[in-house]
C-alpha cells in the first residue's frame, strides 16, 4: 500500500488511486525527473492544493493545466505564485476581472493560499513540470489522478462552483452534474485569449458568490 503524504480527508478518498499500477509508474517517473534536473513545484508542495483545502471544505474548483515553469513561481496552487513574485499575465487578468466585477482592490501578492484556505481548490491537471518546459510532464499520468479527484468531488459533493477557463479546463465539464453544481465556463485569462473577448466582464466571481450564498454557503473573499 503506497503511503502518499497528502491531507487525510483526501487520502481516505484517493487511496484506491494510490494503490493502482499507474500511480506507481507515475511516482517513479516523477522521482526520476526531480532527481535528473530542476522541476517545479518543490517536492513537498506537489499536493499543496489538496493539503490547504480538505475535501469537505471545498466550495470552488479552479482547474489549471500545469505549474508555472520558471524559478520561484510555482508552489502547488493553480494560477498562484509565491509572495514577492511578479504576477504572470493570466493572474494579472484574473485580478483585473475581480476588481472590475467586485470593486475590490488589486492585491499586492499573487499568493492565492488565502483562497485555498477559504475552500478554493486550485488544482492543476498536471501537478509537476520540468523547468522552462511547459507541459513537459503532461504525459506522465497525472491527469488520471487529478480526474479521479474531480470525479470524487463530483460524486460526493453538491453545490460546488467549478470555474473552467479555456478549452483544456472546459474539457473536464463532462464529469460534473450541472443540475447539482454551478459550472461557469469562459475563455482562458491568458492575454492571447482574454483580449479576444469573453474574459473581461464575465462576472464569474460575483456569480460564484451569489450561488454559494443562495445555498447557505459562506462566499469567497476574492
Half-sphere exposure of 204 (CA within 13 A, CB side): 25
Q: What percent of the chain has pLDDT over 70?
A: 99
User: Which candidate in 19, 56, 66, 147 is catalytic?
Assistant: 66
Distance separating alpha carbons of residues 31 and 82, to the nearest angstrom: 23
- Does the N-terminal peptide bond of residue 41 adopt cis geometry, omega within 30 degrees of 0? yes
pLDDT tens string 93-102: 999 999 999 9
Distance separating alpha carbons of residues 31 and 29, to the nearest angstrom: 5
Distance separating alpha carbons of residues 215 and 198, to the nearest angstrom: 27
pLDDT at 3 over 80: no
Q: For residues 104-128, give the mean pLDDT.
A: 97
- Could you tell me the CA-to-CA distances from 61 to 50, 118, 163, 203 in Å, in that order? 11, 12, 6, 16
Q: Is 101 among the residues known to form the active site?
A: no
Q: At what angle do helices 142-156 and 21-36 cross, to 10 degrees?
A: 130
pLDDT tens string 9-49: 999 999 999 999 999 999 999 999 999 999 999 999 999 99
**Beta carbons within 8 Å of 135's beta carbon, 6+ residues apart:** 65, 66, 126, 129
- Could you tell me the CA-to-CA distances from 57 to 107, 111, 135, 158 in Å, in that order? 24, 19, 29, 12
Q: For residues 104-122, give the mean pLDDT.
A: 97
Amino acid at each position: 500500500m503506497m503511503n502518499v503524504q497528502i491531507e487525510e480527508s483526501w487520502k481516505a478518498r484517493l487511496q484506491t488511486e494510490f494503490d493502482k499500477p499507474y500511480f506507481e509508474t507515475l511516482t517513479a517517473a516523477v522521482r526520476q525527473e526531480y532527481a535528473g534536473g530542476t522541476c517545479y513545484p518543490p517536492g513537498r508542495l506537489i499536493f499543496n492544493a489538496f493539503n490547504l483545502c480538505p475535501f469537505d471544505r471545498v466550495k470552488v474548483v479552479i482547474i489549471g493545466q500545469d505549474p508555472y515553469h520558471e524559478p520561484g513561481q510555482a508552489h502547488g496552487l493553480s494560477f498562484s505564485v509565491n509572495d514577492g513574485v511578479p504576477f504572470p499575465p493570466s493572474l494579472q487578468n484574473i485580478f483585473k476581472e475581480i476588481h472590475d466585477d467586485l470593486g475590490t482592490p488589486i492585491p499586492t501578492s499573487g499568493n492565492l493560499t488565502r483562497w485555498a484556505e477559504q475552500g478554493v481548490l486550485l488544482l492543476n491537471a498536471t501537478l509537476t513540470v520540468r523547468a522552462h518546459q511547459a507541459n513537459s510532464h503532461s504525459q506522465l499520468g497525472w491527469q488520471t489522478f487529478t480526474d479521479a479527484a474531480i470525479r470524487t468531488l463530483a460524486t460526493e459533493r453538491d453545490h460546488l462552483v467549478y470555474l473552467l477557463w479555456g478549452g483544456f479546463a472546459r474539457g473536464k465539464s463532462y464529469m460534473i452534474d450541472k443540475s447539482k453544481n454551478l459550472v461557469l465556463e469562459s475563455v482562458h485569462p491568458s492575454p492571447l485569449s482574454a483580449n479576444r473577448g469573453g474574459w473581461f466582464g464575465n462576472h464569474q466571481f460575483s456569480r460564484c458568490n451569489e450561488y454559494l450564498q443562495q445555498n447557505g454557503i459562506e462566499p469567497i473573499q476574492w
